[in-house]
Each structure stands twice: as structure tokens, then as C-alpha cells.
Amino acid sequence: MPSKPRAASRRRFLSHSALLTAFAASPRGALGALQGGGRRRVILDVDLGIDDAVALLLAHYSPAIDLLGITTVFGNTSLEKGTRNTLYMKEKFGIAANVYRGAAAPLYDPPNPIPTFVHGEDGLGDAEQSIAPSIKAAGLGAPEFIARTILENPGEITVISVGPFTNLMLARLLEPGIVSKVRDVVVMGGAAGLAGELGNATTVAEANAINDPHATSALFRYEWPVTMVGLDVTYTSDASMDEAYLRGLAKEAGEAGAFIERINRFYAGFYQRARGVRTTFQHDSIAVAYAIAPELFKTRRGKVSVITEGVARGQTIFCPVGHHTFNDPGWADLPTQTVCSKLDGPGFRELYRRTLIEGARRKL
Ligand code: RIB
Ligand code: CA
């Protein structure tokens, strides 16, 4: 038998089975993305703690995402440990995207204390035997990588930022042209108060927003399409991953599932103490899910203004379109952005579960 037809039919089979897998992982979202001209080209910006790790695996395994690079930033843990954790995951799970080291501190302020009570001393719930990757971060810095990738691929790149927004704003300082060339920016951060949540780091500030309030403020001042995936949706109770759900992942999704279950034990203890519920809120995966399956979300349009000093430092104030005011200096020049207001919690959990199970089966 000549080898060409066989190769061609193998290619047809592979692309057909990729489509089926995508459909299984997300009946509406992934198929829509594939029909819409291919996978979403994503840079994922992380302060790699526990929920970032869970989100990285969603981005890695989703057939709807083409993960171009992972950039690291301080936040949940030091830049050193966060970068080490990201390299550990790249090696352990065979993630093709390179890792780019970013900012070790905020743009202007001194860094806030590291929340070891949330993510553990190692940033991964102190659950791994040893975190000693044998690979290194790429030579290029995170802001340079972000800027270069956006400029070289105008209109194509989605940046999903799930840590403090320092790398993104440094990229904009390097190359102001990225504002008009990025496809869109999806951020886990802030809270609009639409579901009664205002803050998790302080009474009125979400952690990523307060970890670099000047970067957060700048983010909402530019005319690029930003979607804020804030506490309004990430605290959706039926989207949380409780111990039964995590045990299910450990059983069905190979080492990826077992890893997720292990690192989340510490995180569940934190939520037990902080909110009185033994479950885990997966803030960062919900931001990644927005890029995969936006139909799981309801959104509102409006402006976001960020407080950079004082008792409300890090607060993200939302002014919805149509809100009537008499005298609001400081708001007129802000662009209108998108804020997630509601999430289909069970839909998110199912998207995550199926993506992990199918992905781990495919790639292990
Ligand atoms: O407020 C939750 C966010 O802060 C998440 O991104 C978490 O990983 C921390 O960075
Ligand atoms: Ca994070």
C-alpha cells in the first residue's frame, strides 16, 4: 500500500476525533470556537498558587485554547516560587508553552505580605514531595514576550491575566501599540458588588486588584477590550469544587486529577476557616472558562474605576451603562468595559471535568 493515502486518512481521522473530543469537552463553547476558525490564541499570566495551577491545566487541556506562553508574576507566592511552580507543572504535564518570568513587585507600591495561609509555603498547598524542575524559564522577560507576541499577531491574541496586572501594564509601557493590537484581555480580579461580594483581601478589595492597584487602575483606563471576571462570579457557590468533586477528578483524570485533588486540600482548609464552607473557589479557572465558553456567563457593560490609596485601596468601582449621575469628574474619560455578572456554576464544573478527563486521556 502506498503510504500517502494512509497518512491522509489518518490526518482526517485525527482532525475528526479532535472535533469530537472538543465537542465532548464543551458541547457549545469548544465546538463554536473550532467552527469559528480555530483555537483561541492565549497568553496566560499567573501568580502560580493553587487556583492558578488548576486554571493552567484547563488552558493546557482545552481543545479550544492554543496556549502560546505562560508568564509569571509575584502574588500568591514570590516570583521565584511562582516561576518554579509553573516550570514544575510544564515538565510534569508536558505543557508545550514556554514560561516567561515577569515582575517580582508592583509598579509603585511595596509588595503586600505573601498569603501563605491561602496557598501554603510553597504556593501549591505544601502537598508535593519536591518541586525541583530541571527546566528553566525562557530568556525573554514576561512583559517583552507579551508585547512582542501581540505586535506580531495583530487582532489574534487573548491575554488571560489571573495574577496582579503588573506584567500586562509593563508590556503596555514597553509597547503602547499593544492596546489596539490585542484581541482582548480577560482578567480575574476585582469585584463590582453585583452579587454582594466586594473583597477577599480587604473588606473592599480583591487580591489581584490590591496586589498592584496602580496596574489595576491603568488596566481599566485604556481602550482595549477588557472583561473583568471578578468575585461577582468566582464566588458562585455551585461553581466551587468541593471534596467529592475533587475526588472524582482524582479518580477519572489521571495524574492531573490526582495533583489537583492533592494541592486543593490545603485550599479547602483555608475556605473552611475564611467562609465556613469546606470547598474550593476556583477563581482563575473561571476566567479561563470565560475564554472557552462565554455562553456560561452573563455580562454587564460599564466603566471601572480603581482606588489606589487609603482604606479602599484596590477597590474596583463599577458604573454600569445607563447609571444616571449629575457630576462625576474622573469617569467621563474611562472606556466602557465588560464585567461578568452571573455564571452557570454546574456548567462550569462540567466543562472543567470533561476537559480534564478527555485531555488527560489524550495527552498521557
Ligand atoms: O482573588 C483571587 C485571585 O487572587 C486569584 O487569582 C488567586 O490566585 C489570587 O491571585
Ligand atoms: Ca491567581
Q: Is the pLDDT of residue 21 over 80?
A: no
CA distance 59 to 135: 20
CA distance 61 to 352: 10
Q: Are 230 and 341 in contact (CB under 8 A)?
A: no
Cell of 68: 502560546
Going by pLDDT thresholds of 50, 70 and 90, the confidence category of residue 19 is very low
Strand order in the sheet with 184-188: 98-100, 65-72, 40-46, 157-161, 184-188, 226-229, 337-343, 297-306, 316-320
Find residue 343's DSSP bridge partners: 297
Q: Are 29 and 292 in contact (CB under 8 A)?
A: yes
CA distance 86 to 72: 8
Pairing of strands 337-343, 297-306: antiparallel
- In tens, the pLDDT along 295-331 reads 999 999 999 999 999 999 999 999 999 998 777 888 9
Q: How many CB atoms lie within 10 A of CB 163?
A: 32
Q: Which residues of 93-110 are buried (b: 16+ CB within 10 A; e: fewer)?
A: bebebbbbbbbebbbebe
Q: Which of 283, 290, 316 to mutate to test the pocket of ligand 1 (most atoms within 8 A of CB)?
A: 283
DSSP 8-state assignment for residue 128: S
If you take atom 1 of ligand 1, which residue's CA is the nearest one?
207
Using CA of residue 239, residue 205, residue 179, residue 177, what is the dihedral sign? negative
> What global pTM score does this model have?
0.90
If you take atom 10 of ligand 1, which residue's CA is the nearest one?
163
- In tens, the pLDDT along 205-235 reads 999 999 999 999 999 999 999 999 999 999 9
Q: Which of 47, 51, 212, 242 is catalytic?
A: 47
Q: Which of 208, 228, 229, 281 to mutate to test the pocket of ligand 1 (most atoms within 8 A of CB)?
A: 208
Among all chains, which residue has been given the C-alpha cell 508553552?
A: 97
Say if ligand 1 is within 6 A of residue 114 CB: no
Find residue 339's DSSP bridge partners: 228, 300
- In tens, the pLDDT along 70-106 reads 999 999 999 999 999 999 999 999 999 999 999 999 9
DSSP 8-state assignment for residue 321: T
Write the CA distances from 103 to 157, 211, 353, integer angstroms.
Answer: 21, 12, 32
Q: Are 97 and 67 in contact (CB under 8 A)?
A: yes
CA distance 355 to 25: 5
Find residue 67's DSSP bridge partners: 42
For the question of residue 122 being annotated catalytic, the response is no
- In tens, the pLDDT along 152-162 reads 999 999 999 99
Mean pLDDT across the chain: 91
